[in-house]
Structure 1
């Protein structure tokens, strides 16, 4: 074995140095890309937030070279001849490649000064293009994202492909609007040349995996969570108190990380922000990071500096902070995380699932904020329901009015609201959030009908699923929300009641564009299983209508048979005063009438007065 084979290199490199014209492979046994929305949001927020600390619009681009750098952790590479294999760090490298792919398209769309980043994404040899993170079963999806900004994965695609596409589709919502303009080339320059990763390179697999195990299994790769734990335990009386706190900490971090990689760290940030942050960086030039921002990037340093302010003034206080506070909030955080991926139709936590399906990751801190460690179980559930309902209503209103619901748009406002609801009682919480909704100008009664377009199709799908599920459950049938949103393996799609044949409607529309706009209005839409939607595609309404009767109740209500021998549905329609009716023919007026019906149902599904009812308060308050 050569002397080189036994050596190990560790060098801090910029993103450009790591990726430029490189070709990394990933061993087959650890190939899956598994990052979820939370990890992506954290990375994008950390990078953009750090850049905005330094950036000023009056800077020249050359000033970026003097901006402070940013350390993004380490990767471990096994160099096998000329081919480097990523042993640790592929999640981060894959996500950086997706971000760079997005930035390449964004600067093209905006027409800003072009920063050359293609070479960080792919390399070309003999006329053949290949991606710098070279994984064969991902190449088609990466090619689609690179060239078109979208890709529809075949059903048989591996898990990583579906995850790649989902995470790429979320980047635009997470990327701050203030960087989608003249600041963009500055940010790309900084990302390429000022963000650094330590690349540890071994020259055989045994050494590479020994390093990996040493840095992780033996705890030498200290994370912010490890450093926070060390600080807290050092300030707790030695012996039984410290041992109890240590056991509890280890138990919760292991339990959360077993649920999802990195969830323990996510919990610490969410908990500390929800209970102790008081300010967030303002959205203006030269604004400085505040404690909410610092908790997101360096919560271990923040807590050491703010220990006295938050009451950590004695050994007993440090012990209580872990054995009472951490234990309480970790338990409730675990319930939130479980509620985001499960569904019980009558549970007070069901709204958490609805909000998670809209990828609203800010809800976790808002849900924890009003909780107190002495709250009883029933009180906790009521607070969860009030906050969950509030977010659910707010998101529905914003979607109906074509307003953004992404992380970067809502981060400041929702965090400021979180400060206001911290520690409130049930009645105080309900009144505060109810008043907030009363002050909103855009509701179901403002603006025109919701209509589907390329960017809101996923959101509108969820709105239709809720409306459909409401009709179903209120008619006495079992909830079909999970099925409608693809949770049972059956893929549902937005169905246009009118086929895309403007020539069939020349008596009502002179221009094809007018027909297309009316066809896309919410009153002309349903949810159907993909197999049925495809088979109905070109049929006339008269051909489709009898088939709709075999589908969900919202679709079936177009056919007269739905009103026969269906007492639960008929009773629901009458009791709620909803203008359901069958249609022999479906005209432009029918689309408008049906849209009015959907709006009326939506006002029942998302009713601000429900916040007061849940709290046991009179609606007149």
Structure 2
């Protein structure tokens, strides 16, 4: 291997496992692959074998050389663990066949665990992080007849569930794709072919470096030469490399892994980059996703700044999960009002917007209980107004929210009233909002249902219709008075139908038990059913003399007059 500090070689992935004892740093990310990732790896290998490809490239792996001869895995954990899971599944398939005992033992000793004379015990070829290692060893490495073998997933940690899922999938892959032959000798031949291909032909570029700083700095070089890493990968590697210069690697690792663990526990692991970007926006203003790495790198130039950034991502991760999930434990600790939680529910489930999250996060981390509720109410009102009026680019709206979020973090804005006054320059005013509400069509059913329930409560005189929580899709339908697929009884042109069918004036809420028989009937047939409804807006339709563009427009204009009062720009006392 050439080079004094950095060694390069090309090995089969099985050969990499066979030659070395490998360990994942104790604080590195846990096993993260889902079934589809495992399937992709195995399917790609199978296709390469079926096409007779002498080599299949699995990318680059980076290791740190340790004093005891072990290689620490800086990059490659998911591929290594998933390959070992497949080796284990091949071994387990042979467990009940005495004639294949030597092959069974060969797989175990070469790729799973080997005798270590220093400890006088078997030693796993791959040791995972603190959270996963014991589970991985018992579920995957140990032979199937061992008393400590875990055949069932007893732990509920997300990474353990993924290991269990991968192990079960690998077992099915072996039985259904590798040994799907009628003759036993052909089954064994296929197993041997897979072992040989994994060991020699499924190749990786192995990079071995002397320390963590070189391990993480090498990623940018690889990226510049064609190994395209995500913004999040680049950021993590930069932070680790910078921290390692002053022995702060463990500090940033623990904070980064705390962030990842919190996001994973809330089902948000796929949104990690979104989180980092929206968190950065809440502190430092707007940035595009493609620029987030360079912005943070230019700011966090020292190990101290890197650890400060680590504090940011770890401390804000749970609040970020809470502004996405109205069922998050944060809302049940009496630190915030039910109204605040209702705002989160509406923004996430009924309006489904994410560009406002930096503002929500800044508010939650800065304002007190009452001011947080007041601001979240304003956020719902602003969101509805932007959605109804339209014509404002989503990037522009995001800029408005980003500026406000940054000013809250920097204490330039300290009250909801100051925030409301600033946003009034950007948010559609009452007249514009009402005028557009009178003409708007709504294509998203979940949003239309929210608007209608809020309007329903407003017609009943409810004091807080904006935070309505009455929607129940199991009991109520979104009813199109003029049907989406009108029968021949409806005399209307195709052009007029397309313009009117999703107007708010043509929509209402109706009990499923009433709606089940209406289908696309004529308005005169529907009216008696509407009269039976418990919904005020729907019962009012029974008094109409007909249903055409005129009636739809008149009804929507009447409803529009309620909108500025429901989604008010005033700060609630």
TM-score between the two structures when normalised by the length of structure 1: 0.47
What's the offset of the Cα at 1:433? 1.3
Alpha-carbon separation, structure 2, partners of 1:359 and 1:306: 32
Q: For each residue in 1:16-52, what CA deviation from the matched residue of structure 2 results, as whole angstroms up to 9, or x when unmatched?
A: xxxxxxxxxxxxx92599xxxxxxxxxxxxxxxxxxx
**Residues 211-253 of structure 1: CA deviation (Å, up to 9, x unaligned):** 99x99xx999992353254156447775xxx756643432221
Give the alignment partner of residue 275 of structure 1, picking from 283, 308, 312. 283
Aligned CA distance change for structure 1 residues 605 and 377 (closer, same or farther; 3 Å)? closer
Shift of 1:606: 1.8
Residue of structure 2 aligned with 1:492, choices 477, 487, 507? 477
Change (3 A) 1:470 1:332: farther
Task: Say which of 414, 428, 446 aligns to 1:425.
Answer: 414
Given the superposition, is the C-alpha separation of residues 593 and 375 from structure 1 closer, same or farther in structure 2, using an over 3 Å criterion? closer
Is 2:259 aligned against 1:259? no
1:66-465 residue pairs with structure 2 within 5 A?
A: 77-79=44-46, 81-82=49-50, 207=198, 223-231=233-241, 233-234=243-244, 246-260=253-267, 261-277=269-285, 292-293=287-288, 296-297=289-290, 299-307=292-300, 315=304, 318-323=306-311, 325-339=312-326, 346-356=338-348, 357-369=350-362, 375-398=367-390, 403=391, 409-422=393-406, 423=408, 424-426=413-415, 427-437=417-427, 442-446=432-436, 449-451=439-441, 459-465=447-453
| 1:525 corresponds to 2:507 | yes
Asked if residue 483 in structure 1 is aligned to residue 452 in structure 2, the reply is: no
Q: Which residue of 2 aligns with 1:112?
A: none
C-alpha spacing 1:478/1:376, structure 2 compared with 1 (3 Å):
closer
- Kindly state the Cα deviation for residue 338 of structure 1 after the two structures are TM-superposed: 1.2
Contact 1:257 1:263 in 2 (8 A): no
Deviation at 1:267, TM superposition (A): 1.6
**Unpaired segments ≥5 residues, structure 1:** 1-5, 10-28, 34-73, 90-201, 279-291, 561-581, 617-621
Question: Would the aligned equivalents of 1:536 and 1:544 in 2 still touch at CA under 8 Å?
Answer: yes
Q: 1:302 to 1:505 in 2, by over 3 A?
A: closer
1:531–1:374: structure 2 CA closer, same or farther, 3 Å change rule? Answer: closer
TM-align CA RMSD: 5.1
One of 461, 467, 471 as aligned partner of 2:455: 467
Asked if 1:607 corresponds to 2:540, the answer is: no
State how far apart, in whole Å, the 1-side matches of 2:531 and 2:558 are.
Answer: 18
Are residues 244 and 390 of structure 1, via their aligned partners in 2, closer, same or farther at CA, if it must alter by over 3 Å?
same
**Distance in structure 1 (CA, Å) of the matches to 2:432 and 2:371:** 31
Measure the CA separation in 2 of the matches of 1:300 and 1:451.
Answer: 39
- Unaligned regions of 5+ residues in structure 2, if any? 1-10, 15-33, 59-77, 80-192, 208-214, 220-228
d(CA) in 1 for partners of 2:525 and 2:435? 34
Give the distance between the partners of 2:465 and 2:363, measured in 1 at CA: 34
What's the CA shift for 1:432? 0.8
Tell me the matched-pair count: 370
What SS does structure 2 have at the residue aligned with 1:79? helix
Partner of 2:93: none
Distance in 1 of aligned mates of 2:465 and 2:452: 17
2-side partners of 1:604 and 1:389: how far apart?
10
Native 8 Å contact 2:281 2:402 kept in 1: no
Distance (whole Å) between structure 2 residues aligned to residue 318 and residue 539 of structure 1: 65
Between the aligned partners of 1:233 and 1:470, the Cα distance in structure 2 is: 56
Residues 521 and 360 of structure 1: CA distance in aligned 2, closer, same or farther (over 3 Å):
closer
* Other-structure match for 1:558: 540
Distance in 2 (alpha carbons) for counterparts of 1:203 and 1:86:
15
TM-score when normalising by structure 2? 0.51
Contact 1:496 1:526 in 2 (8 A): yes
| Partner-residue secondary structure (3-state), 2:339 | coil
> Aligned partners of 1:447 and 1:383: how far apart in 2?
23
Deviations 1:251-276 (CA, angstroms, capped at 9, x unpaired): 22111123223333332121113212
User: Rg bigger for which structure?
Assistant: 2
Task: Report what 2:176 is aligned to.
Answer: none
Residues 456 and 535 of structure 2 are in contact (CA less than 8 Å); yes or no, is this contact kept in structure 1? yes
| Partner SS, residue 509 of structure 2 | strand
After superposition, the C-alpha distances for 1:485-526 in whole angstroms (9 at most, x for unaligned) are: x4xx568334225796687677xx8x6755775565432321
